[in-house]
Structure 1
């Protein structure tokens, strides 16, 4: 892997690390479990984040809107995912499912962006502002889901001028076909690098002082 990641200008964007997505008993975990286990999602997320921290890179958590009573109910055109959230109350505020997975809690120096309402972590949030204020030019996207929030956030990042890296095995989706679309069909149209956890963490090690 030939990409260079300057720790002063690189951030790992951890998208939607909620218990509902990542933990046994989570509302959406049963739908993502098969692919998550196939790719070793949790271990790879831990590895990417640990390696980034050791290299002195910044972690930014990019969370979805936590559901609250009344969300979307008066909207003219909520999208299909928002309608599903309205029915199942995914990531409900004040519940275990709406808390971040215990292994991915923010630490001092991490940034938690404002919650996104749909799929892009940039739309209607402060993510771009936070990245620019911290001098970030390169973003590495991990988390969920590969073909929705991760892809939308990465595509938006490219439009804003960031260097975008996707990590094949540090994300998951409901079906293998969705992973294929995210990394083989759609990713190459906007990402500057599509890599694996092993390749990425090796590159991160090379950036340490």
Structure 2
């Protein structure tokens, strides 16, 4: 695997509100936070650009709504912001895709000459997947560090319910199998970027 010298790490919605398990329910991938931190550390140590994405929910009961403590980044992310040698960007959004946020992520990446993005964050099958699909459609070389993402159990139509593990795997298969992104493990990315 090759990670470009200017590949951007896009850290999607790693916010305190996702720790409110009473709201979200069971999650998968308990090691995700450690892997997210490792990716940020690698990007900052190598001077690559990092994009921090924050979801500002418009839902009044959401733990991610502005003004609620859960809207803030998790402590380990907040402690790392502004510490790297590379460029850094904060994108805020109220929908699934980081490409529909403020400022315009696509415009910023193109101005920086970035053609490869590495995605990490929450939730695997929602905001991470949507951002990966859009990135692929926009022509970026998209890499998803699967074990640096996590999601939650979810109810769907017809009484169906998917576990976090099932939803995460389905997302990985769809992204990788359909060519939107290469779905890999954090160690592969860190080794290639170091």
TM-score norm. by structure 1 comes to 0.77
Q: Where does residue 147 of structure 1 map in the other structure? A: 125
Residue by residue over 1:37-91, the C-alpha shift from the partner in whole angstroms, topping out at 9 and shown as x without a partner, is: 1xx0111111111111112211101221x24xxx4xxxxxxxxxxxxx34x2321
By how many angstroms is 1:26 displaced? 6.5
Q: Where does residue 4 of structure 1 map in the other structure? A: 2
Q: Where does residue 118 of structure 1 map in the other structure? A: 95
Query: 1: distance between equivalents of 2:101 and 2:28?
Result: 30
Query: 2: distance between equivalents of 1:130 and 1:157?
Result: 13
By how many angstroms is 1:13 displaced? 0.3
Q: Where does residue 17 of structure 1 map in the other structure? A: 14
Task: Report if aligned partners of 1:172, 1:179 keep a CA contact under 8 Å in 2.
Answer: yes
The number of residues matched between the two structures is 177
Q: Measured at CA, do residues 45 and 36 of structure 1 come closer, stay the same or move farther in structure 2, by a change above 3 Å?
A: same
Residue by residue over 1:131-185, the C-alpha shift from the partner in whole angstroms, topping out at 9 and shown as x without a partner, is: 1121111000000111110010011011111100011100011111101111123
By how many angstroms is 1:190 displaced? 3.3
| 1:189 equivalenced with 2:178 (yes/no) | yes
| 1:96 equivalenced with 2:69 (yes/no) | yes
SS of match in other structure, 1:49? helix
Residue segments in structure 1 that go unaligned for 5+ positions in a row: 72-84
TM-score norm. by structure 2 comes to 0.83
Task: Report if aligned partners of 1:168, 1:197 keep a CA contact under 8 Å in 2.
Answer: yes
SS of match in other structure, 2:174? helix
Q: Where does residue 34 of structure 2 map in the other structure? A: 43
Query: 2: distance between equivalents of 1:155 and 1:190?
Result: 9
Q: Which moved more, 1:90-99 or 1:133-142?
A: 90-99
The one of 66, 74, 82 aligned to 1:107: 82
Q: Where does residue 203 of structure 1 map in the other structure? A: 192
Q: Measured at CA, do residues 98 and 27 of structure 1 come closer, stay the same or move farther in structure 2, by a change above 3 Å?
A: farther
SS of match in other structure, 1:190? coil
Moved over 2 A (4+): 25-28, 185-188
Q: Measured at CA, do residues 27 and 187 of structure 1 come closer, stay the same or move farther in structure 2, by a change above 3 Å?
A: farther
More strand by share: 2
C-alpha RMSD of the superposition = 1.9
By how many angstroms is 1:124 displaced? 5.0
